[in-house]
Structure formats: structure tokens, C-alpha cells
A and B are shown apart, each in its own frame.
Chain A
Amino acid sequence: MALPLADDLANIFDVDEFATAVTYDGGTINGIFDNETIPVDTGGYVSVHEEQPRLTCRTTDISSIAYNQTMVVNAVTYYVRAWIHDGTGVTVVQLEKS
């Protein structure tokens, strides 16, 4: 019996559940936006505390993802810098604040 993973993802990435609407590639996709503050070690004595924006979304929603595309989340524009497909239909996108 096939696992109903697509249905699960649809529920997870529902704006009424955990997701946020994101403007991307001329349309709107849903994704879970995290903007955790992390300590960045750049080789000096002290770290730099910076936010780390990441969008977790369905891989099928970003099938043509490319470097330097934009995503607008909560009225803030971010550039796509990198992404990791986890192989189960979910992708985490690394964003850079414009």
C-alpha cells in the first residue's frame, strides 16, 4: 500500500497549519519559514549573531529552482542561495536577505 505522503505534505504545508504563503517565480507557494538567530563563527575571537532564513517546502513546488531567484516572505525579499532536497519530497532552501 502506498504511503499517502503527498497528502501529508499538503497538510503540513497548509497555511492553516504550519506554512506561510511565499511569492515565488510569478506565483505563490506554501512553505515553513524559519529565521532562527545563530552564532556564526568567522574565525575571530567572538561569533556574530545573525538570523538564518530557511524555507522548507515541497520539492515539486520549486522544480525549477535556481540561484538568485527571489522569494518574498512576510513582505521581505530574499534571494535563493542554496537548497537541499531531502529525497522524500521536501526541500530546504537557504535564503539571503536582500
Chain B
Amino acid sequence: MAHVRQQIRERIVSVLNTNVTLVSNRVYGTRVYSLTEADLPAVVVYAGSETSALQTVSLKTSARVVSIEVDAYVRGTSNFDNDVDAIAVQIEEAIANDFNVNGLAKSAVLVNTEINFSGEAEQPIGSAKLTFDVRYDTAINDVETAR
């Protein structure tokens, strides 16, 4: 077993790979190396910061909220802004339809979207960073099993 946070991240990568058809299976988990023209359009998923607190003393339950960040990248001479939003539609709906992350979480909710564009290169590049707060519980001494 792995940390529930890892299971959540991997589940979201899998869900997006199946449902975000606009990127043709170019969904990467925790990619650290740069993308190239051949990699676009693409989606990259990261588990960012996480907060946790003791929810119940008797059961020693840790209530956690992990920020899952989903970055979408597109490239094109026109409609790149619309393409970013079209991919965001597929990302948001795919995660909404897996609201409890296959039973690993209590909820997965979009809390922030940042959209950026760049005209520095040979064709414009657009990106969107969608941040989802994923709430889940574990025992404090068993972080590999979701409660």
C-alpha cells in the first residue's frame, strides 16, 4: 500500500487520462522535466501542499486536505484561449464525476483556476492551473488506508 495521498494522485491521473480526450493520453503525474512541442497539449498532475489536524481523539483520525494541482498546456496560432477552457471543461467534469476519488476521499472540489498565456516562442502557449482541495481521513498510525 502507499500513502493515501499518493493513491489519490494516481487515481486522478488515471481518471484524467481516460476522460480528458483533448490531450490524447498525454497526462503526466508529477512531471519535473520540461515539456516540448511534441508533448502538447498536455496535462500534468501534482500533489501540492497538505494540511492535517486531529479530528477525533478517541479514534485518532487525521483529517487532511491535500491540494491537487492540475496544469493544462496548449500550443497554437489561434484559439489557444478556447482550447485551454475546453480542456478545463474535461478536467473539471472528470473530477466532479469522481467526487470521492473512488472512495479514497470525502470530496474533491475545485478551489482555484489560474490561466496564463505566453507569446515568447514560435507559437503562443496557453496554460491553466486548476487547484482541487481533496479532503480525506486516515488513522494517524495508518496513512495508507482511507477512513
Contact = CB atoms under 8 A, between A and B. Distances in A.
B123 A42 contact: no
Contact of A42 (B31, B33, B69, B117): B117
Contacts, number: 81
A40 B31 contact: no
A95 B35 CA distance: 21
Interface residues on A, range: 20 to 34
A43 B127 contact: yes
A33 B112 CA distance: 41
Contacts of A25: none
Contacts of B129: 43-44
A96 B122 contact: yes
B44 A50 contact: no
Nearest to B120: A40
A52 interface: yes
With a 10 A CB-CB cut-off, give which of B71, B77, B122, B124 has the most chain A CB atoms: B122
Contact of A52 (B40, B71, B73, B121): B121
A97 to B, nearest CB: 4
Interface string B23-53: 0000000011111110010001010000000
Given A44-B44, A45-B69, A95-B122, A39 B34 contact: yes
Contact of A40 (B32, B69, B121): B121
A11 B66 CA distance: 61
A21 B33 CA distance: 36
20 contacts: A42-B126, A43-B114, A43-B116, A44-B71, A45-B69, A46-B31, A46-B35, A46-B71, A47-B35, A48-B35, A48-B75, A48-B125, A49-B34, A50-B75, A51-B122, A52-B120, A96-B77, A97-B77, A97-B122, A97-B123
The 7 residue pairs across chains A and B that have the minimum distance between CB atoms: A50-B121, A43-B116, A44-B71, A42-B127, A97-B122, A48-B35, A49-B34
Interface of B: 31-37, 40, 44, 46, 69, 71, 73, 75, 77, 114, 116-127, 129
